[in-house]
Amino acid sequence: MSAEMVVSLAERAIGVILFTAGPLLIIALVTGLAVSIFQATTQIQEQTLAFVPKIVAVLVAMVFFGPWMLQQVTTFAGDILQNLTRYIG
């Protein structure tokens, strides 16, 4: 296995990770920002108020994006397993 192949494989793996985790991270970020703005404007400083909406938003996003994320990861894993002889030898 050459150095270029290792770099290419690592690049694809990182790309798949970022591509599949991105929607959930963005939704958590937007939800956290909205809750923080709400807390700042109403001067409510409850810790659970910042935590619970993010969990709910990420769980709802997992319901919607879950099949797509699973398809992306299984496609990548299938490609790895199909080309395993190239990577080993």
Q: Closest Cα to residue 31, out of 54, 51, 47?
A: 54
How high is the pLDDT of residue 1?
75
Asked if the structure places residue 89 within a domain, the reply is no
For residue 23, the model assigns a pLDDT of: 94
- Residue 69's nearest CA partner among 29, 24, 13 is 24
Domain assignment present for 12 = yes
Q: Are the CB atoms for 32 and 54 separated by under 8 Å?
A: yes
**Does residue 45 fall inside a structural domain?**
yes
Q: Is residue 42 part of a domain?
A: yes
In a domain, 64, yes or no: yes
Domain boundaries, position 7: 3-84
Centroid of chain to Cα 23: 6
Per-residue pLDDT in tens (0 to 9) along the chain, 89 residues = 788 888 999 999 999 999 999 999 999 999 999 999 999 999 888 877 888 999 999 999 999 999 999 999 999 999 999 988 888 87
Place of tokens 């709910």: 56
Residue 25 lies in a domain: yes
Degrees to nearest 5, angle at CA 35 with 59 and 49: 75
Q: How many domains does one find in the chain?
A: 1
Assigned domain for 33 exists: yes
